C-alpha cells in the first residue's frame, strides 16, 4: 500500500511538472505626467486589466505623453498608450515638422475616448485676458514636443502669434509650470487636458487666475481634429463664467504586434469598466461606447474591431 501511495503521488507530481506554465502577458500602459489626466486613468486601467485581462501583468509608466508614447509604441516598448488626436494623425502620416521623421506604421487604434480641453490660465496680476495679451509675456507650453506643446503652436498660430512674439517660453510639464506661476516666474501656462486637471486646480487654489478664451473663429481656422468647446463656470476656483476654448479628442492606441486576443480583452474590459475610469478622473465621464469611438486617423487594431463588431457598431 505504501508503495502504491508513493507511486500515485509521484504520478501527480510528474503530471503537474509536465503541464506547461501559462505565459504572462506584459501590458505596459504609457500615460503622461503624474499631475495630468492620463496618469490616474492609466492607474485605473492597471487595476482593470489585472482583474479582467487573462494572464495580464500590467504596469504604468509616466511619460511626456502623446509624442513620446507614440514613438515608444512604434518601438514595441509599450502595449497601450494615451495620445491626442492631432499627435496620432501626425505620427501615422510621418510629419517631420512635429517630430515624426517617418510614418509610425505600426500604430493601431483601440478607441477614441474623451476630449482634451486646451486651457490657457494666466495669473490675474499679469493682466492677460485674451490671446493677444500673451505677446511679450512668459508662457509655459508643456514638455518639449509633447502633445500639449503641439497644441500650443496651433493655438498661438491661429491668433497670429509665434514663440518669437512671447517674452519667454518655458517647456515644462504641468506640475512644474504651476510651481513657476506660484513663484511669479511665468505669467501663464497652456495645458491640454481633461477638465478639472489636478495641476490647474492646485494653481487656482493658490493664486488668483484668469482663464483665457480661445474664440471659436480661431478654433475653426485650425480645423480638424480641433473643435470648439467650453470650460464651464466653476471648473476652477475663481472662474465665474463659461470660457470658450478648443478641444482635441484623445485616443487609446496600441501597435500591430500586440496579439488580437490581448487587445480584444483590453478593449472589452475598458468599456465594461467605465464607472471605474470615471472614479479615477471625471474626464472619463465622456467616454462612450458609440460610433464616434471608432473614428480615428490610424487603423483599428483587429482585436478592437472584433469587440466593436460584437457590439453592433461595425
Written in H, E and C, the secondary structure of 140-196 is: ECCCCCCHHHHHHHHHHHHCCCCHHHCCEEECCCHHHHHHHHHCCCCCEEEEEECCC
Look up the CATH number of domain 25-114+251-310. 3.40.190.10
Judged against a pLDDT cut of 70, whether residue 81 lies above it is answered with yes
Where do the CATH 3.40.190.10 domains begin and end in the chain? 25-114+251-310, 116-248
Judged against a pLDDT cut of 50, whether residue 13 lies above it is answered with no
pLDDT in tens, 82-112: 999 999 999 999 998 887 999 999 999 999 9
Mean pLDDT for the chain overall? 92
The predicted pLDDT at position 1 comes to 47
pLDDT in tens, 19-72: 445 578 999 999 998 988 999 999 999 999 999 999 999 999 999 899 999 999
The predicted pLDDT at position 144 comes to 82
Look up the CATH number of domain 116-248. 3.40.190.10
Task: Kindly report the pTM of this predicted structure.
Answer: 0.84
The predicted pLDDT at position 17 comes to 46
Judged against a pLDDT cut of 60, whether residue 15 lies above it is answered with no
Region 169-175 average pLDDT: 94
The predicted pLDDT at position 121 comes to 98
The predicted pLDDT at position 98 comes to 80
Cα dihedral sign, 127-178-143-234: negative
Amino acid at each position: 500500500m505504501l508503495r502504491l501511495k508513493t507511486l500515485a503521488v509521484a504520478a501527480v507530481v510528474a503530471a503537474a511538472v509536465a503541464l506547461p506554465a501559462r505565459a504572462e502577458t506584459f501590458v505596459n500602459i504609457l500615460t503622461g505626467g503624474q499631475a495630468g489626466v492620463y496618469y490616474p486613468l492609466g492607474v485605473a486601467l492597471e487595476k482593470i486589466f489585472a482583474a479582467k485581462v487573462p494572464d495580464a501583468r500590467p504596469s504604468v509608466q509616466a511619460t511626456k505623453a502623446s509624442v513620446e508614447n507614440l514613438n515608444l509604441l512604434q518601438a514595441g516598448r509599450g502595449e497601450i498608450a494615451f495620445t491626442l488626436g492631432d499627435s496620432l494623425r501626425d505620427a501615422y502620416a510621418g510629419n517631420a515638422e512635429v517630430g515624426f521623421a517617418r510614418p509610425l506604421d505600426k500604430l493601431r487604434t483601440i478607441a477614441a475616448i474623451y476630449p482634451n480641453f486646451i486651457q490657457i490660465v494666466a495669473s490675474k496680476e499679469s493682466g492677460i485676458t485674451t490671446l493677444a495679451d500673451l505677446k511679450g509675456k512668459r508662457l509655459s507650453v508643456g514638455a518639449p514636443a509633447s502633445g500639449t506643446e503641439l497644441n500650443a503652436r496651433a493655438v498661438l498660430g491661429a491668433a497670429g502669434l509665434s514663440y518669437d512674439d512671447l517674452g519667454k517660453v518655458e517647456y515644462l510639464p504641468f506640475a512644474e509650470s504651476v510651481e513657476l506661476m506660484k513663484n511669479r516666474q511665468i505669467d501663464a501656462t497652456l495645458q491640454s487636458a481633461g477638465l478639472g486637471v489636478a495641476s490647474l486646480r492646485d494653481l487656482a487654489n493658490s493664486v488668483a487666475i484668469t482663464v483665457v478664451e480661445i474664440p471659436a473663429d480661431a478654433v475653426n481656422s485650425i480645423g480638424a481634429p480641433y473643435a470648439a468647446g467650453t470650460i464651464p463656470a466653476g471648473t476652477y476656483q475663481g472662474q465665474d463664467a463659461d470660457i470658450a476654448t478648443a478641444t482635441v479628442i484623445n485616443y487609446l492606441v496600441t501597435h500591430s504586434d500586440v496579439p488580437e486576443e490581448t487587445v480584444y480583452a483590453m478593449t472589452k474590459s475598458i468599456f465594461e469598466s467605465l464607472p471605474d475610469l470615471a472614479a479615477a478622473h471625471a474626464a472619463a465621464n465622456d467616454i462612450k461606447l458609440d460610433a464616434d469611438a471608432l473614428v480615428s486617423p490610424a487603423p483599428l487594431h483587429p482585436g478592437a474591431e472584433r469587440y466593436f463588431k460584437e457590439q453592433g457598431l461595425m
